[in-house]
Each structure stands twice: as C-alpha cells, then as structure tokens.
Amino acid sequence: MRDGIETNRLILRPFEASVAESAFGRFRDPVVMRFTPMGPDKGIEETKAKLRFFRKDQHTLGFSKWPISDRTLGVALGDSGLLVLGKGIATEVTPAFVRTAFLELGLTCLGAFVHPENHASIRAPEKLRFKKKRRGTVFGMDSMLIPREK
C-alpha cells in the first residue's frame, strides 16, 4: 500500500512515533473515544504502544490505522483504517480506503464495524454498498458489523 492517501479536504498518512504526544491528546479524551472499543488511553505509554502496533502492521501488512489531517490547516482530526468516527469525515475517508483495499491491495471483501449508537458512522459504509448489517462484538464492544464484497 502506498504511504498516503489524499482527498479534497484530507490527508491520511501512517502514524509516526513522533506524534505520540499529540495522539495522546486525542486518545485520552473520553468524548473523542466514546465510540471506540477500548475507550480513552490512561497514559502516554498506552498511546505509544498503540502507535507501535499500528507501525508494525503498516510495516508487515502494508496498512494500518492512519491519522487524518485537515489538508488546509494541517491539524489532526482523528484516525481511521476502514472505519471512521466523526463529523462527515467518514463519507470522505471511507471511499478512499475501500478503493485502496480493492484496487491496490487486491482484497475481495471488507468488513466495517461501528458502535450501534454512532448513526452517522453507520451511514457511511451503507453509502458504499456495505450491506446486511448485524450486531456483534468487536474488541469487547457491542457493534454493528457491516460486510461488503468487491
């Protein structure tokens, strides 16, 4: 997978170790993390461990969760893999990851999971032909599971 994706408003790049402090600012915020399976980070070491995990996956698999930055302002807005949380970003980021997964990585099916109360994020995969949603548990969190085939 390439080392970045750009949309009209956003820039997505793999996490770097140097962003641990700024990532911790978001990862420790209970409001930002309310729809995530593991909740807010309790300390900077927890954030650093997540970033090491993301970087390892990026290195070994060619993909991972990436930070999302505003293209104009250069500020971090959140992070995403094939799932997204937050304010209209999902509608823009999800198609970019889906195209990359199918066209560059050669995947034949994908799955999205979203917190059942996060209605805005549930709609984003539905717009991209993810169908047959059902409830399930992902990382200990009650979730809506939404598959899609190429």
Look at residue 52 and give its three-state secondary structure: helix
Q: What's the pLDDT at 149? A: 83
Model pLDDT, residue 73 = 93
The pTM of the whole model exceeds 0.75: no
Beta strand segments in the chain, E: 5-6, 10-12, 66-70, 76-80, 109-114, 134-138, 141-149
- Judge whether residue 64 has pLDDT over 60: yes
Averaged pLDDT for residues 128-144: 81
Task: Delineate the domains of the chain, giving CATH numbers in brackets.
Answer: 5-108 (3.40.630.30)
Q: pLDDT at position 31, please?
A: 92
Instruction: Quote the pLDDT of residue 43.
Output: 97
Portion of the chain with pLDDT greater than 70, in percent: 92
Q: Measured at the alpha carbon of residue 121, what is the angle toward residues 80 and 88, in degrees to the nearest 5?
A: 80
Query: What is the rounded CA–CA span in Å between residue 28 and residue 44?
Result: 9
Judged against a pLDDT cut of 50, whether residue 5 lies above it is answered with yes
